[in-house]
Amino acid sequence: MAEIHLKSLAHSYDTTANPPEYAIRQMDHIWHDGGAFALLGPSGCGKSTLLNIISGLLKPSEGDVLFDGVRVNDIPPQDRNIAQVFQFPVVYDTMSVFDNLAFPLRNMGAGVAKINSKVTEIAAILELTDVLNKKAANLTADEKQKVSMGRGLVRDDVSAILFDEPLTVIDPQLKWKLRRKLKQIHERFKTTMVYVTHDQLEASTFADKIALMYGGQVVQFGTPRELFEQPNHTFVGYFIGSPGMNFLEVKRCKEGVCFGDIAFPLSAAEKKALQHSTSNNLKLGIRPEFVHVWDKPNSQAQQANVEFVEDLGTYKIVSLTLGGVSIKARLQEDQKIPHQSAYISFPEQWLMLYIDEFLVEKENDDE
């Protein structure tokens, strides 16, 4: 078990390019010992690159990787004591499940008694006991993925287990089962786990803390709730949530910021930040879940045109246009579905101000 510290880390696949193109832009990041983390982001954001740098399959072009304070840049993967589970299950086809699980132990020269007890224990946890004598080639995809996970778990010396989109090839109905298994394993072994995915649901069910990556950088590192309620970058707002955050491009005005002729009051901290900035890239963001839809017109509510209503089974999403901008709102259960026009308001506490795409804190803690 170990704390993984990425120190001024950056990576470029082609260091000769000018200007250099970075797959990972310079970052500092710490994965705390024993945590379950998700590395979430769209395809091509650099999350797999980052994972391979941690495991040692890739050498970072700049910066250091520290395991418990020890620099491991030059240590090859086999000596880093990490385990990695890949997108496509990697099993040794010709071996039995037992031999697959025993393989890392045998390579380390472990004794027969230790191998037997360890493999039996891990197989029981992963529910592989019934298939221990089967050839790995004849397993189903989810069993294979469990075997490749098991090869990491049998080792006592594993400091972290890295998962690279491990559920991609698993049938949907088995996904949640395997995800729950992972969670249980984490609770039991308390190994540091880093789980790469582009699926926010997977990330938030697995991880205590999610690092959201975008354009080669971690833009936010927080609990699933923080990412949902306080996205600190417009990309986080857009990427997390289904549908993503609504954004209104606003202008400075004497009340604070205005969208057309609608004025939005700001908190003191927000006003201060606005004064310090010269940028005109101002946005207000609000989650569809927090947009209030009224049944009847009232003094606070704005009239918006209803475009269409999507029924997602347990709830409905209504798409509206307000001042030429489309806004999505989530209707409460058993709320009346508005026709043609709806009356909406934006509760102040859920309105986030973004200057140059970055969040302005509502309360300024440090001053």
Partner 1 sequence: MNKPHSNKAWFLVLPVFILVAFSAIVPLMTVVNYSLQDIFDVSTRYFVGTEWYREILNDSRLQDSLVRQFIFSGSVLLIEIPLGIGVALMMPKSGKWSVISLLVLALPLLVPLNVVGTIWQIFGRADIGLFGWALNAIGIDYNYAANPIDAWLTVLLMDVWHWTSLVALLSFSGLRAIPDAYYQAASIDRASAWAVFRYIQLPKLKSVLLIGVLLRFMDSFMIYTEPFVLTGGGPGNSTTFLSQALTKMAVGQFDIGPAGAFSIIYFLIILLVSWLFYTAMTHSDNK
Binding site residues, partner 1, CB under 8 A:
55, 57, 76-78, 82-84, 86-88, 90, 92-95, 103-104, 107-108, 134-135, 137-138, 148, 151-152
The pair phi, psi for residue 119, each rounded to 5°, is -65, -40
> Closer to partner 1 at the Cβ: 78 or 140?
78
What residues form DSSP beta bridges with 306?
A: 320
> Closer to partner 1 at the Cβ: 66 or 82?
82
Residue with tokens 């710490």: 30
Q: Please list, residue by residue across 8-27, b when 16 or more beta carbons sit within 10 angstroms of its beta carbon and e when fewer do.
A: ebbbbeeeeeeeeebbbeeb
Residues 6 or more apart whose CB falls under 8 angstroms from that of 202 comprise 38, 167, 175, 179, 195
Least Å from the CB of residue 56 to partner 1: 9
Spatial separation of the C-alpha atoms in residues 175 and 179, rounded to whole Å = 6
Residues 6 or more apart whose CB falls under 8 angstroms from that of 83 comprise 149, 151, 152, 153, 155, 158, 160, 161, 162
What residues form DSSP beta bridges with 304?
A: 342
Least Å from the CB of residue 148 to partner 1: 7
> Closer to partner 1 at the Cβ: 55 or 192?
55
Residue 236 CB neighbour total at 10 angstroms? 26
> Closer to partner 1 at the Cβ: 19 or 111?
111
Least Å from the CB of residue 25 to partner 1: 24
- Amino acid letter for position 19: P
> Closer to partner 1 at the Cβ: 86 or 290?
86
> Closer to partner 1 at the Cβ: 103 or 176?
103
Q: Tokens in use for 295?
A: 């049944």
| Exposed / middle / buried, residue 184 (Cβ in 10 Å: 0-12, 13-18, 19+) | exposed
Least Å from the CB of residue 243 to partner 1: 34
Least Å from the CB of residue 152 to partner 1: 8
The pair phi, psi for residue 296, each rounded to 5°, is -125, 155
Q: Are 65 and 72 in contact (CB under 8 A)?
A: yes
> Closer to partner 1 at the Cβ: 83 or 240?
83
Least Å from the CB of residue 238 to partner 1: 31
Least Å from the CB of residue 164 to partner 1: 8
> Closer to partner 1 at the Cβ: 90 or 263?
90
Least Å from the CB of residue 88 to partner 1: 6
Spatial separation of the C-alpha atoms in residues 127 and 193, rounded to whole Å = 20
